[in-house]
Amino acid sequence: MLFIFDWDGTLLDSTGRIVDAMRAAAAELGIEVLSVEQVRNIIGLGLPEAIIALYPLLSVSDRELLQAAYSRHYVAADQQPCAWFPTVRETLHQLKGAGFTLAVATGKSRRGLKRVLEQLGMLDFFHATRCADETQSKPHPQMLHELVQELSVPLEHAVMIGDTEYDMAMAEAAGMARIGVSYGAHAAERLWSYRPELVMDEFKQLLTWQQSKANSEHRDSGLLQQRDQTN
């Protein structure tokens, strides 16, 4: 089984840091400072796509300035990594220890993801990662297709876990199972519209889901064997 995780708002509690950096960047450039909720809504997109969504009338040059200012503010605040959400770190280690394949599909840049993985001592923890600046941004499914191809895992043996509509829409477009988390950037009600397997209130529920799925597959396999013997 391949577990593909979003990063910000799913594994690490970084939503507030992203919002603060975007609002500070806008204030620095004299651009309208949008509400916390407006900025939260674009978390999960690649940075260029997020800025277009927030400021569609901004010129290309001003978007580039805002992108650079956001990056400065975020990196300055990110000298210490954000905290893990409760039970995330333990659950990741349990899944890896059980032999599952783990990957990341994130709206972060490659430089940003590498920085935080280094800070956490996890550069080699995940089997594969994909970032928005090296492929199509969410909700396009390309990064999921690339990950399953790289890891040689069939789509039906993979699941995407994320906190935003963009994660759910990406997985739906890829034809992949999906699981939401209720504690991230987007409300659970928004995630349910994409028919996820479940929306978790706590990350360790992923272990229960995996065990239930394994039990179900075992029962189905047993029924098929019985049917074959009968025939």
Say whether both 113 and 213 belong to one domain.
yes
- Rounded Cα distance, 150 and 65, in Å: 35
Burial class (CB within 10 angstroms; exposed 0-12, middle 13-18, buried 19+) of 187:
middle
pLDDT at residue 218 tops 70: no
Tally the domains of the chain: 2
213 and 174, same structural domain? yes
Going by pLDDT thresholds of 50, 70 and 90, the confidence category of residue 2 is: very high
Return the percentage of the chain with pLDDT > 90, whole number. Answer: 90
In a domain, 107, yes or no: yes
The domain that holds 106 is classified in CATH as 3.40.50.1000
pLDDT at residue number 216? 78
pLDDT value of residue 49:
96
pLDDT at residue 163, as a whole number: 98
Residue 229: phi and psi, rounded to 5, are -65, -35
For position 220, what pLDDT does the model report?
A: 61
Q: Are residues 213 and 146 in the same domain?
A: yes
- Whether the per-residue pLDDT at 55 is higher than 80: the answer is yes
Residue whose structure tokens are 């039990």: 215
Same domain, 108 and 128: yes
**Residues recognised as catalytic:** 6, 8
Residue 85 pLDDT exceeds 90: yes
Q: How large is the average pLDDT for residues 209-228?
A: 71
In this prediction, residue 214 carries a pLDDT of 84
Do 27 and 100 fall into the same domain?
A: no
Q: What is the pTM of this model?
A: 0.92
Domain of residue 216, residue span: 2-12+82-225
Same domain, 141 and 157: yes
Residues 145, 61 within the same domain: no
The answer to whether 183 touches 203, Cβ cutoff 8 Å, is: no
Mean pLDDT, residues 96-114: 96
Among 19-28, 140-149, 192-201, 205-214, whose mean pLDDT is lowest?
205-214
Judge whether residue 162 has pLDDT over 60: yes
Which uninterrupted H or E stretch holds 206?
helix 205-230
Per-residue confidence (pLDDT) for residue 186, from 0 to 100: 97
Has residue 231 been placed in a domain? no
DSSP label at 38?
H
Q: Tell me if 51 sits within 8 A of 67, measured CB to CB.
A: yes
On average, the pLDDT of the chain sits at 94
